Amino acid sequence: MDPTGPDLVAHGQLHPSGSLLPASLPSTLTVMCGTARGILQLQNGRIVVEEEDGSTVEVVPQDFERMGGRGATKKWKQSIRVANLPPGQSMTLGEWLAARGLEIRANLIT
């Protein structure tokens, strides 16, 4: 786990979670990458993954990509996908963030 992982900074009204996310956004998003599933915490940009023993670990997107077996691509915005979409729909995390006006730049999500 990378302790210098991304922090989330967004412009707009305070989210009910207390972060600076726009109020229209959820505070979490279920994501998947290869064999890995997790919950992206939008307030800090980290992904919570449940381990086989039932414990949880927070990882940065690059580590989540490796956990899912896709670390060689090194394009986590394309490798990580939004889960729980209606049948026939598919969206990368990068597409989801861009559609909501969020951008990830060098350890910041703005």
- Summarised one tens digit per residue, pLDDT across range 76-104 is 899 999 998 889 999 999 999 888 877 66
∠ CA 2-98-43, rounded to 5°: 45
* pTM over 0.95, yes/no: no
Confidence at residue 101, expressed as pLDDT on a 0 to 100 scale: 79
Q: What is the pLDDT averaged over residues 7-31?
A: 60
Confidence at residue 105, expressed as pLDDT on a 0 to 100 scale: 56
From the options 3.40.50.2030, 1.20.1250.20, 3.40.630.10, 3.10.390.10, give the CATH code of 7-109.
Answer: 3.10.390.10
Higher pLDDT, 3 or 84: 84
